[in-house]
Amino acid sequence: MIFAAQFIQLAIAVVLLHIVSFISFTPFGSVIRGTVELPTLEFQIGMKLMPLVSVGIVALVFNTLCLRNVDASFFQVRSVALISRGTCT
């Protein structure tokens, strides 16, 4: 169930990126500053990025598995801590 929700979130992000890219090349694109061009996929660059992507995926999965039995208030405190740490650095 966890993986399905993460996949759906990723799919929605990709669809929205394609919609914004399409809109940026239409007359309504003046709302968006500049044009949004989708990058081309290259196999060699993808293979070089694979270790970084896999570490991120493993970290996300372990984070989700470790926090699945924690109360909801812990998530709220944790998110405030992450936001404050990001703004202070």
Quote the percentage of the chain above a pLDDT of 70.
Answer: 66
pLDDT in tens, 9-43: 888 999 998 888 888 777 776 666 677 788 888 99
Instruction: Write out the two tokens for 28.
Output: 């309504």
Residues 5 and 21 in one domain: yes
In this predicted structure, the answer to whether residue 77 has a pLDDT above a threshold of 90 is no
Residues 52 and 75 in one domain: yes
How far apart CA 57 and CA 49 sit, in angstroms, is 12
Which amino acid, one-letter code, is at 86? G
Number of domains in the chain: 2
Residues 58 and 27 in one domain: no
Provide the 8-state DSSP code for 41. P
What is the span of the domain harbouring residue 62? Answer: 41-89
Long-range contacts of 56-62 (CB under 8 A, 24+ apart): 60/6, 61/2
How far apart CA 68 and CA 63 sit, in angstroms, is 9
Residues 71 and 28 in one domain: no
> Do residues 82 and 67 touch, judged by C-beta distance below 8 A?
no
